Chains A and B, each alone.
Chain A
Amino acid sequence: MTATHLTAGFMPLLDAVLLVVAHEKGFAHNEGLALHLVKENSWANIRDRAALGHFDVAQMLAPMPIAASLGLTPLSVPMIAPFVLGLGNNGITVSADLWRQMRDQGAPDTIDPASHGEAFRKVVEASPRKLRFGVVHQTSSHNYELRYWMAASGVRPDRDVEIVVLPPQYLPGALGAGGVDGYCVGEPWNSVGVAGKSGRLLTVKDKIWSMSPDKVVGMRADWAEENPDTVSALIRALYRAGLWASEQAHFDEMAAIMAQPHYLNAPREIVIRALTGRFVLGHGAEAEIDSHFVPSAHNANFPWKSQALWYYSQMVRWGEAPQSPTNADIAAACFRADLYRAALTSLGVNLPEADYKSDDGFFDDVPFDPQKLEAYISSQAD
């Protein structure tokens, strides 16, 4: 049997790891897939090359397929996401200078987003200039989580600070050079900023929105329609890669694989921090973060339609998407729980029965109930 050739784009970020493991450890091969991984240097290229069909599938920011399907981005073609590449993995890192100011305002030694948020608000109020934060892409989990954290802490992201977009691999450099005062990015770029640019890792995604999706495997809706067996095979390969990647015994090997120049091109001892959850926060602090990056457990790979709706709610909140029942439907339809189930039923995997769930893991204790979407959006309006 000849293998089905599958080209997958990825960015140099730790949560490309399931695609890499599926390739390097033979899980894709076992499913009859010849996975060809292509490293990209911008999310815009990932988006365009996926839209044009240069990539069959790609690692994408969870909101990207939604934004494409809603027509918010150039070359918008309907995209779907049948698989989540893991929960968590983001973090917010601030410069040494901003950290000193936050310390003076009572920021703790921990990674508690609420107390850091309070100190941050006081610094923003006292600051003679607008602080500038970097995120990796406009329609990114990073952008929405950073904004959520700020807004819940009493800082208006569009008025009180400035948010700019920079590629992940450039953010630590920008922090060191004073170009940004802080950023929200996936690993290893927080740890790189801590190790090389005296940054302070403030908090991580799991503390802002617990057990939430960050990256997905995205693909054109029509391509998925035409290649259902390939999609199923890919889901199974990635699912098995996730199980493998969850085992502590494999962390060293995984870090060594990911550290290589053609993947992350970052030191192994930095890469492993996100896998073990043992973080150096900077400025003398360290933390053990249990569920910083969850590649498989807790149904990590299941594309909850309700979580697509949460991202949509934030697009509306920040003025990127018009609010309408049609748009909500389009957003929910991007996360293909049905394809996930269809691929994994035969493996006897314990699958969620519902496509929607309430999320109550937000740090400010405001729950998200997908059945009360409109009320949720209204409650967040200025």
Chain B
Amino acid sequence: MGNMKGMSAVLSILVIDENHIRASIIEAGLREAGHQRVSVVHDVKAVAQRIGEIAPDVIIIDLENPNRDTLEHFFSLSKAVQRPIAMFVDRSDGTMIDKAVQAGVSAYVVDGMKKERIKPIMDMAIARFNAFARLERELEQAKGELEDRKIIEKAKGILMKTRGLSEPEAYQLLRTSAMNRNQRLIDIAQSLITASELLGPNQ
């Protein structure tokens, strides 16, 4: 029965992700790929109430979610789900599973689902999880760089004021000190600010 349904009917896909933005990105990807029955749940607790109505063929969940144990136990109770649900389609497809876990995503599918039907869904989810992680990293980096720039500006300001240097001279002094000590420019700038604060406003 599961086989027949898996072959013909429209797939019902459930996305469980506490991260609302990422969930929307996955949902959009699934809809773009032509999947119409996509449900998104942010809280695992809500799965219990909605699983009957959703009757998912595929469940996509992020690995940061500490509730995977809860979810799996829930699947194992035959009362909650009529059709048995396994993790991934085929245990032998190690590469896909590995890629998915690396990307931070896992999938559960109903028994009897064909590998060809799940693969494009997983490929999309993996790609979007990776893209999301990259964006997050870039955002972090950009934040960090902005922060660094502010610190260096402040350090330059201190040097200009206390030593009467021009801006290029102040910057050059910071750079030379960093190179001579084999330290990063940002660390030298930070030390200078700390020292200046310790010595007080009159300095």
- Chain A interface residues (CB < 8 Å from chain B): 41-45, 48-49, 52, 54, 74-76, 136-138, 164-167, 169-170
* Contact code string B73-112 (vs A, CB < 8 Å = 1, else 0): 1101000000000111001001001100110001000000
Indicate whether B66 reaches chain A with its CB closer than 8 angstroms: yes
The CA-CA distance from A54 to B86 in the complex, in Å, is 21
In the assembled complex, which residues on chain A have CB atoms less than 8 Å from the CB atom of B68? 42, 44-45
| B60 → A minimal CB distance (Å) | 15
In the assembled complex, which residues on chain B have CB atoms less than 8 Å from the CB atom of A136? 69
* Contact code string B155-193 (vs A, CB < 8 Å = 1, else 0): 000000000000000000000000000000000000000
The CA-CA distance from A347 to B94 in the complex, in Å, is 40
A138 near B97 with CB under 8 A, answer no
A137 near B101 with CB under 8 A, answer no
| B101 → A minimal CB distance (Å) | 6
Known contacts: A54-B101, A74-B86, A138-B73. The answer to whether A167 contacts B66 by CB under 8 A is: yes
A49 near B101 with CB under 8 A, answer yes
Indicate whether B147 reaches chain A with its CB closer than 8 angstroms: no
In the assembled complex, which residues on chain A have CB atoms less than 8 Å from the CB atom of B24? none
* Interface footprint category on B: 20 to 34
Known contacts: A45-B68, A48-B101, A137-B69. The answer to whether A75 contacts B91 by CB under 8 A is: yes
* 11 additional contacts (CB under 8 A) given A48-B106, A54-B101: A44-B69, A44-B72, A48-B101, A52-B97, A52-B101, A137-B69, A137-B73, A138-B69, A165-B70, A166-B67, A167-B69
Indicate whether B64 reaches chain A with its CB closer than 8 angstroms: yes
In the assembled complex, which residues on chain A have CB atoms less than 8 Å from the CB atom of B70? 164-167
The CA-CA distance from A33 to B101 in the complex, in Å, is 26
A42 near B73 with CB under 8 A, answer no
B66 near A169 with CB under 8 A, answer yes
In the assembled complex, which residues on chain B have CB atoms less than 8 Å from the CB atom of A137? 69, 73
B76 near A76 with CB under 8 A, answer no
In the assembled complex, which residues on chain B have CB atoms less than 8 Å from the CB atom of A167? 66-67, 69-70
Main secondary structure of the interface of A (DSSP, over half): loop
The CA-CA distance from A170 to B70 in the complex, in Å, is 11
In the assembled complex, which residues on chain B have CB atoms less than 8 Å from the CB atom of A45? 63, 68
| A310 → B minimal CB distance (Å) | 22
In the assembled complex, which residues on chain B have CB atoms less than 8 Å from the CB atom of A75? 87-88, 91, 97
| A323 → B minimal CB distance (Å) | 19
| A66 → B minimal CB distance (Å) | 17
Indicate whether B65 reaches chain A with its CB closer than 8 angstroms: yes
The CA-CA distance from A138 to B68 in the complex, in Å, is 11
In the assembled complex, which residues on chain B have CB atoms less than 8 Å from the CB atom of A165? 69-70, 72-74
In the assembled complex, which residues on chain A have CB atoms less than 8 Å from the CB atom of B102? 54
* Contact code string B44-72 (vs A, CB < 8 Å = 1, else 0): 00000000000000000001111111101
B66 near A74 with CB under 8 A, answer no
| B35 → A minimal CB distance (Å) | 23
B64 near A41 with CB under 8 A, answer yes
8 Å CB contact of B67 from A42, A52, A74: A42
| A287 → B minimal CB distance (Å) | 30
The CA-CA distance from A98 to B67 in the complex, in Å, is 25
In the assembled complex, which residues on chain A have CB atoms less than 8 Å from the CB atom of B64? 41
> Which A-chain residue is minimally distant from B104 (CB atoms)?
A45
In the assembled complex, which residues on chain A have CB atoms less than 8 Å from the CB atom of B91? 74-76
The CA-CA distance from A41 to B70 in the complex, in Å, is 12
| A139 → B minimal CB distance (Å) | 10
Known contacts: A45-B63, A170-B66. The answer to whether A138 contacts B72 by CB under 8 A is: yes
What are 20 A-to-B residue pairs whose CB atoms are below 8 Å?
Answer: A42-B69, A44-B68, A45-B63, A45-B68, A52-B101, A54-B102, A74-B88, A74-B91, A75-B87, A75-B88, A136-B69, A165-B69, A165-B74, A166-B67, A166-B69, A166-B70, A167-B69, A167-B70, A169-B66, A170-B67
| B24 → A minimal CB distance (Å) | 23
In the assembled complex, which residues on chain B have CB atoms less than 8 Å from the CB atom of A169? 66
The CA-CA distance from A167 to B106 in the complex, in Å, is 17
In the assembled complex, which residues on chain A have CB atoms less than 8 Å from the CB atom of B69? 42-44, 136-138, 165-167
Per CB-CB distance, the 6 closest pairs between chain A and chain B, nearest first, are A74-B87, A165-B73, A44-B68, A167-B66, A41-B66, A42-B68
The CA-CA distance from A132 to B66 in the complex, in Å, is 20
The CA-CA distance from A124 to B38 in the complex, in Å, is 41
The CA-CA distance from A165 to B72 in the complex, in Å, is 9
In the assembled complex, which residues on chain B have CB atoms less than 8 Å from the CB atom of A166? 67, 69-70
Query: Interface centre among B65, B68, B87, B88, by most A CB within 10 Å?
Result: B68
> Which B-chain residue is minimally distant from A162 (CB atoms)?
B77
The CA-CA distance from A42 to B61 in the complex, in Å, is 13
The CA-CA distance from A41 to B65 in the complex, in Å, is 7
B65 near A42 with CB under 8 A, answer yes
In the assembled complex, which residues on chain B have CB atoms less than 8 Å from the CB atom of A41? 64-66
A164 near B66 with CB under 8 A, answer no
In the assembled complex, which residues on chain A have CB atoms less than 8 Å from the CB atom of B94? 52
In the assembled complex, which residues on chain A have CB atoms less than 8 Å from the CB atom of B97? 52, 75
B72 near A74 with CB under 8 A, answer yes
| B43 → A minimal CB distance (Å) | 12
